[in-house]
A and B are shown apart, each in its own frame.
Chain A
Amino acid sequence: DGGITQSPKYLFRKEGQNVTLSCEQNLNHDAMYWYRQDPGQGLRLIYYSQIVNDFQKGDIAEGYSVSREKKESFPLTVTSAQKNPTAFYLCASSREGTGGSRNAEAFFGQGTRLTVV
């Protein structure tokens, strides 16, 4: 079955450590996104990528980094510079990220809950 796989489902990080969240999709989608979800705040865009080897900052990119070396993969690194990293992280993809596309529907992974201990 096609879909988006995020791993791990739960992740614990010590303060000062970098951690990487995995996101893989087999939907052949061009665009991929990372969102952060906090209670009562909806989803906030961290980074997005419309094509391999290219990505753009979203609304809350500080303290995060990404790479897009393969179409299928869009890992997110939460660095020690992120002051409040405890949150639920969602990865999504869509068929096209540009133009007047009707393929703006996003497909989501199951999320990774990151906790700083």
Chain B
Amino acid sequence: QVQLQESGPGLVKPSETLSLTCGVSGGSISSHYWTWIRQPPGKGLEWIGYIYTGGNTNYNPSLKSRVTISADMSKNQFSLKLTSVAAADTAVYYCARQGVRDGYSGPVDYWGHGTMVTVSS
């Protein structure tokens, strides 16, 4: 059973960088797509991006200029950095796995519990 756990500061100042890490157990991050998704309070889900085999990444075009997702294979964890944050970046941030089904990219099948990040001075 794959388990994911987000960690990082719950409060970030405007214009600074949001940094989160996701520890993965029960499976290796060497395969599948390791994903960040966020949800502003009371709103819907927004895909941020993922990292996959070989360190390749794919980002939401609306956030691409501010986002970096990286992985540490030795620790079996992956990370999110979002620069120049503003109040609109306040959200619950989920790390998740987008699985491979029948040899193709599949749905998001494992989620972390989520961590609330507030952008405020």
Q: Is B a genuine binding partner of A?
A: no
B residues neighboring A (CB under 8 Å): none
